[in-house]
């Protein structure tokens, strides 16, 4: 009887360890999703900022403003592509 109880205890301990490992994996996944969502938010903020800059550009003599808008858009596109690739790797 003691041998059977010891075996059941070992099985329960192994099951508990497996469940803890799964929880840790899920926690890591949730952290990564949170990080990606933060990147999405940053991209969205950057796009809104760019939209505001574009609205403020006056015709003629705004070459430096246009250059800054183009640079901001390029940075936003790079961020958006990185987030998109990471989401694809995660299966979303």
Tell me the two tokens of residue 51. Answer: 């939209």
Count of residues making up the chain: 92
What are the tens digits of pLDDT across the range 21-44?
Answer: 999 999 999 998 888 888 888 888
Higher pLDDT, 14 or 2: 14
In SS3 terms, 31-80 reads as HHHHHHHHHHHHHHHHHHHHHHHHHHCCCCCCHHHHHHHHHHHHHHHHHH
Model-level pTM greater than 0.75?
A: no
């Amino acid at each position: 009887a003691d041998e059977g109880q010891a075996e059941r205890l070992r099985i329960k301990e192994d099951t508990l360890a497996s469940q803890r490992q799964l929880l840790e994996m899920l926690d890591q996944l949730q952290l990564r999703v949170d990080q990606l969502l933060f990147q999405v938010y940053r991209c969205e903020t950057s796009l809104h900022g760019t939209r505001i800059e574009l609205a403020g550009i006056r015709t003629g003599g705004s070459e430096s403003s246009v250059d800054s808008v183009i640079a901001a858009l390029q940075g936003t596109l790079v961020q958006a592509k990185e987030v998109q690739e990471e989401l694809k790797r995660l299966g979303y």
